[in-house]
Structure 1
Amino acid sequence: MIEVRLPHVTFHDLGDAVRLIWRETLYADFEKGELERVIRRKFRVSPEITVRDGVLIIDTDYEKVESFVALYIQNNLGALLRNRYTNRKVLYIHEGMDVPLLGYNAFGLIDRGTNLIQIRGVSGCNLSCVFCSVDEGPYSRTRKLDYVVDIDYLIKWFDEVARIKGKGLEAHLDGQGEPLIYPFRVELVQALREHPNVSVISMQSNGTLLTDKLVEELAEAGLDRVNLSLHSLDPDKAKMLMGRKDYDLEHVLDMAEALVNAGIDVLIAPVIIFGINDDEAEAFIEFARKIGAGRRWPALGFQNYIPYKFGRNPTIARVVPFKDFYAWLRSLEEKTGMRPLVLKPKHFGMEKREFIPLAFRPGEVVKAEVVLPGRIKGEMLAKARNRLIEVINTDAEVGDRITVRIVRTRHGIYIGTPV
């Protein structure tokens, strides 16, 4: 019997196939028949393939089979990788691909002219919130694939951004979805903690994937704060808002307390949809007080629901003007004594910093190379001047060289249309 073990991998038997789960968040299915065929062609043996206790078992005593199968799996893994939470195909972005990590919203780095840098190592989400601004999650009707950025490549680009932006940075792990599905989540926090230009490491999360063990690992790695997406304290209403019948509110509440006990500050961040959960505002405040949230930063960050063109916009949602929303927050401050609820950059130590210089001007026409498919129909990603451009309304393919008119450059996110 030969046992095949790979780092951070467990195997599961699916009958006709073997499922490889890598770092808890990604998976790839290998047909048993195909594995047996490649072994037979190479070694003239016909072994049976099974799984026992998460280990791949090959019924042969020929020792060279182990290294051969391990290499075969590693060589074919990239083409088969899928997101364990969305079941979508995953594109694994590494240094050898020479894909810029500035210019696109779904992965990489975003600079909005402050000392806070958004870090997006992954796309995708394990929930399908009914108000999601980017139609994320397993029930998405528009997102067709996900991205994962290799941690070494992500840190390499962060080094360059940090060099330009200076010291005293807040590294904020967020994304179009749930950052905790990033396979290198703990290692990323640790690498950022060791960076001389980083003062604060924060993370956006819905909290569902947290465990006591993961909380401890994140605390030891140096995570400072979690902005917790918690939208109702009623179990049934929470399931409706989160778009999942299996949403476990009690677990999320327990993990919020575990974070605080581990020394990680928590900011409760509900999206308020008036007529649905605005009546829970005082309950959110009480919960924040109960667990000791907001030790270093504000304890709550109420957000006003607004509809988005490519988001999920429930018909039951009532849109409230921001003027009225802020008046509502001020009345809550007076009634509950919880301050601040009207949040400002100064509450988080945010300050204006010079933008990373723009690579393109609005209206400019540039030559670009298509390097990746986009996430929605008619979208492709092209590169030029060491930046990514989201090209919309195109039928171009990877490898094509195209002419693009830049239509948007806000915060270094570049959108273009084919000329």
Structure 2
Amino acid sequence: MDPRKHLIDSYGREIRDLRISVTDRCNFRCTYCLPEEGIDWLPRSELLTFEEITAISRIFVERFYVDSIRLTGGEPTVRAQLPRLVSMLATLKTHEGKKVNLSMTTNGVTLPLIAEPLRDAGLDRINISLDTLRADRFLEITKRPQFERVLEGIEAAQAVGFHPLKLNVVAMKGINDDEIVDFATFGRDRGLQVRFIEFMPLDGANAWDQAAVLSADEIL
């Protein structure tokens, strides 16, 4: 008897994707996500080792038909030696004998340094989070003067062959809703897939406000 089984949610949908937070730490302090000061990070001893992450992932892939793994954080690229973890996960094979699809969501600021090692290690896809195309507004949202570095990260990811490259934009009324068309143009001109993300109550900085939620209809 085959011991494997599909994971099914309460709506009867198959779960084929595994999302792994490799760290709670982040090098940005986005206003809707984290407070600027006073964050209690997990002790490093409490983070799963790369070997533990790989072992858990193997169980999901080999027993439960998971065929896609996404690395997140916090900001996953602040985890030291991340390409080594990618190379370990890249050895996993789906029930069809194919390589597991590996992706990552990042703020992009370290990609000028790490995009090529990640690609060489076996990372397949990247989503980059960017909520504004204005340097002054970027500083207001992230509390970090790294706008140009993120743009360099986008270029670096494309240069080493990450395609399609997706751009995640948290759309917020009164904050960046005047940039919707700018983002659409930016994506079209650079071959990026722009995705507008709902402003959700992450509550890290107690900044969520229902009035700031921008609907899909309004975006269109």
Q: What is the CA–CA distance in structure 1 between the aligned matches of 2:70 and 2:26, rounded to whole Å?
A: 17
Q: Corresponding residue for 2:78? A: 181
Distance of aligned partners of 1:150 and 1:127 in 2 relative to their CA distance in 1, 3 Å threshold: same
**Deviation by residue 1:127-175 (Cα, 9 ceiling, x = unmatched):** 111010xx36xx34353434432111211121112122226x1110012
Q: What residue is the counterpart of 1:302 in the other structure?
A: 196
1:226 aligns with 2:119: no
Does the 8 Å contact 2:61/2:93 carry over to 1? no
* Kept in 2: contact 1:274–1:317 (CA 8 A): no
Q: Note the C-alpha offset of 1:316.
A: 8.2
Q: CA deviation at 1:116?
A: 0.6
Mapped pair 1:262 → 2:160: yes
Match of 1:156 among 35, 55, 70: 55
Corresponding residue for residue 288 of structure 1: 187
Q: Is the 8 A contact 2:111 2:154 kept in 1?
A: no
Distance 2:71 2:208 in 1: 31
The alpha-carbon deviation at position 289 of structure 1 amounts to 2.1
Matching of residue 143 in structure 1 with residue 40 in structure 2: yes
1:117 paired with 2:117, answer: no
Greater RCO structure (CA 8 Å; 6+ sep): 2
> 2:215 is matched with which residue?
325
Over the matched positions of the two proteins, sequence identity in percent amounts to: 27
**Does the Cα contact within 8 Å between 1:257 and 1:291 map onto a contact in 2?**
no
Structure ranking higher in helix proportion: 2
SS of corresponding position for 2:218: helix
Provide the residue aligned with 2:114 in structure 1. Answer: 214
* Residues 68 and 100 in structure 2, CA contact (< 8 A), matched pair in contact too: yes
Larger radius of gyration: 1
SS at match of 1:128: coil
Q: Secondary structure at the match of 1:318?
A: helix
1:231 is displaced (CA, Å) by 0.7
SS where residue 311 of structure 1 aligns?
Answer: coil
Length-normalised TM-score, structure 1: 0.45
Residues 10-21 of structure 1 mapped to structure 2, 5 A cutoff: none
Q: More strand per residue: 1 or 2?
A: 1
Who is 2:28 aligned against?
127
Consecutive unaligned residues of structure 2, counting only runs of 5 or more, are 1-7
Question: How many pairs are equivalent?
Answer: 202
- Give the alignment of 1:10-409 within 5 angstroms: 114-132=15-33, 135=34, 139-147=36-44, 148-166=47-65, 169-175=67-73, 177-197=74-94, 198-211=99-112, 213-244=113-144, 247-265=145-163, 266-293=165-192, 299-308=193-202, 310-314=203-207, 318-320=211-213, 325-329=215-219, 331=220
Conserved 8 A contact 1:125-1:178: yes
Quote the RMSD (CA, aligned, Å).
Answer: 2.3
Distance 2:81 2:196 in 1: 29
Once residues 137 and 194 of structure 2 are traced to their aligned partners in structure 1, the CA distance between those partners, rounded to angstroms, is: 20
Q: Point out the more displaced range, 282-291 or 215-224.
A: 282-291
Aligned AA for 2:133? L
